[in-house]
């Protein structure tokens, strides 16, 4: 039987443990990346000039939520988001969960095309940039083949297909020849494009949100998507809870790093730990009551963790629960440890990327980051910063972290403008 201390110890990473991950990630980038789950996909895009211009319609396909944006690129590194709308692919007007395996590609893209028609209203010409947050292999700037779904999406007949072709065909079926897809990019690549549009030194892009992934500019100036969320090696400090979560996920053994760090999974990991503490230890004053709070899978999400750490309210499934002071301290400690571990592991991969692109640490680097974890989760951004400092005290000042809101979508607009 484990104790509270055993659990907190297993979630706590020493600087040496973080450095081991950094070293392994560095090695994986240059030597047999596939053995470690990395993909190093060439996005077919390089850096923008910062002078790309024009109004671009953007589809930002992040996961179950998809966003449409109208972005005005003004040149001189400036842009404006003119309008935007969020679409939920799970709950929608069709009554069918378009992310489930009962849905087909043409239903999913047909729905997106209908929403686009409604969103733009008037019949004018638009270039379309697509930020598609899944692993895809590029044939050219406007076509990429989905390699596999991640983030628990299972829609049929999309894997193996050219995603922008599916979108363009759906638009044609609605008679919308005025909209031309011009570019498709991964969201991490989009984030880097948006960062590089604004700043010459931006050379790493990353998503810390529902999912996690990073990309970088290689020595030939190409933007490379690492699919780092799928990284796996024995150096990862996997606990029994990580294994439990992986075993019960839709895609076991896939996205192992992502399952330890990303917003889609933190809530479930947290639930598994609290349930174990309530059922198998005498840590809580009110363990019977607590065990009843979390009976179902995914009954707690990363927004609940955020609320706990920020507002000190303990919520699950939209309900608030009052806890004794000592029980609250326990749930708070576990939440903090999970968030800190996530940020430390992500920082380790950032350092791995910097080691790969600038071995002697001679240049300045800007890591552009988008995503709700980085934006909102208490402790998260600061821990990444602190970890860079602890691991590389002499060089950390060369690395700047910059949050960029909506960057994946802005980057898709930049990509469409670059593709002409």
Cβ nearer to ligand GLC, comparing 207 with 272 = 207
Query: Does residue number 211 form part of the binding site for ligand GLC (CB under 6 A)?
Result: yes
Q: Could you tell me which stretch among 99-107, 210-218, 376-384, 389-397 binds ligand GLC (CB under 6 A)?
A: 210-218
- Helix 325-357, helix 380-391: angle, nearest 10: 50
What residues does 320 pair with on adjacent strands? 315
Cα 400 to Cα 50, 108, 195, 272, 377, distances in angstroms: 20, 39, 12, 35, 19
Cβ nearer to ligand GLC, comparing 133 with 344 = 133
Q: Could you tell me which stretch among 44-52, 132-140, 216-224, 298-306 binds ligand GLC (CB under 6 A)?
A: 132-140
* Distance from C-alpha of 195 to C-alpha of 79, rounded to nearest angstrom: 12
* Distance from C-alpha of 309 to C-alpha of 339, rounded to nearest angstrom: 10
Query: Does residue number 207 form part of the binding site for ligand GLC (CB under 6 A)?
Result: yes
Q: Could you tell me which stretch among 70-78, 183-191, 321-329, 343-351 binds ligand GLC (CB under 6 A)?
A: 183-191
Query: Does residue number 213 form part of the binding site for ligand GLC (CB under 6 A)?
Result: yes
- Helix 263-280, helix 4-11: angle, nearest 10: 160
Both tokens of 187, joined, read: 């969201």
What count of Cα atoms within 13 Å lies in the side-chain half-sphere of residue 239? Answer: 21
User: Residues 44-73 vs ligand GLC: string with x where CB under 6 A?
Assistant: ------------------x-----------
Site for ligand GLC in 14-43 (CB under 6 A): none
Query: Does residue number 304 form part of the binding site for ligand GLC (CB under 6 A)?
Result: no
CB of 105 vs ligand GLC, minimal distance in Å? 18
* Distance from C-alpha of 309 to C-alpha of 307, rounded to nearest angstrom: 6
Cα 386 to Cα 221, 230, 379, 393, 397, distances in angstroms: 29, 24, 10, 10, 11
Q: Which of 195, 229, 237, 409 binds ligand GLC (CB under 6 A)?
A: 229
Both tokens of 141, joined, read: 């700037």
Site for ligand GLC in 239-258 (CB under 6 A): 258
CB of 333 vs ligand GLC, minimal distance in Å? 28
User: Residues 185-204 vs ligand GLC: string with x where CB under 6 A?
Assistant: -xxx----------------
Task: Judge contact between 181 and 401, C-beta under 8 A.
Answer: no
Q: How many residues bind ligand GLC (CB under 6 A)?
A: 16
Q: Which of 10, 150, 344, 368 binds ligand GLC (CB under 6 A)?
A: 150
Q: Which of 247, 351, 371 is nearest to 306 (CA)?
A: 371
Q: What residues make contact with ligand GLC under the rule CB under 6 A?
A: 62, 133-135, 150-151, 186-188, 207, 211-213, 227, 229, 258
């Amino acid at each position: 039987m484990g104790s509270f201390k055993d659990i907190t110890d297993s979630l706590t990473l020493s600087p040496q443990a973080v450095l081991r991950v950094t070293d392994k990630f560095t090695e994986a980038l240059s030597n047999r990346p596939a053995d470690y789950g990395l993909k190093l996909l060439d996005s077919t895009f390089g850096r923008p000039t910062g002078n790309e211009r024009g109004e671009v319609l953007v589809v930002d396909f992040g996961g179950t939520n998809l966003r449409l944006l109208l972005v005005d690129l003004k040149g001189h590194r400036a842009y404006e988001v003119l309008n935007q709308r969020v679409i939920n692919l799970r709950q929608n007007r069709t009554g069918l969960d378009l992310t489930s395996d009962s849905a087909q590609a043409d239903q999913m893209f047909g729905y997106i095309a209908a929403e686009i028609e409604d969103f733009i209203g008037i019949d004018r010409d638009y270039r379309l940039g697509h930020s598609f947050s899944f692993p895809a292999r590029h044939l050219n700037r406007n076509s990429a083949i989905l390699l596999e779904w991640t983030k628990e999406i299972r829609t049929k007949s999309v894997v193996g297909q050219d995603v922008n072709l599916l979108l363009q065909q759906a638009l044609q079926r609605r008679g919308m020849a005025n909209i031309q897809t011009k570019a498709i990019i991964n969201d991490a690549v989009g984030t880097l494009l948006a960062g590089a549009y604004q700043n010459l030194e931006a050379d790493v892009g990353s998503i810390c949100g529902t999912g996690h992934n990073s990309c970088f500019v290689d020595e030939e100036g190409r933007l490379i998507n690492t699919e780092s969320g799928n990284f796996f090696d024995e150096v990862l400090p996997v606990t029994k809870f990580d294994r439990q979560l992986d075993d019960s996920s839709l895609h076991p053994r896939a996205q192992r790093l992502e399952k330890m760090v990303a917003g889609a999974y933190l809530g479930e990991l947290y639930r598994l730990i609290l349930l174990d503490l309530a059922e198998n230890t005498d840590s809580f004053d009110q363990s019977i009551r607590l065990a009843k709070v979390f009976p179902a899978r995914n009954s707690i999400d990363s927004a609940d963790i955020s609320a706990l750490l920020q507002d000190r309210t303990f919520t699950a499934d939209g309900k608030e629960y009052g806890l004794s002071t000592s029980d609250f301290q326990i749930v708070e400690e576990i939440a903090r440890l999970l968030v800190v571990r996530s940020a430390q592991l992500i920082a380790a991969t950032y350092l791995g990327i910097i080691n790969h692109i600038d071995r002697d640490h001679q240049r300045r680097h800007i890591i552009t980051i988008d995503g709700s974890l980085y934006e909102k989760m208490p402790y998260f951004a600061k821990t990444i910063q602190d970890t860079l400092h602890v691991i590389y005290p002499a060089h950390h000042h060369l690395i700047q972290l910059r949050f960029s809101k909506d960057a994946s979508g802005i980057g898709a607009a930049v990509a469409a403008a670059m593709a002409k």
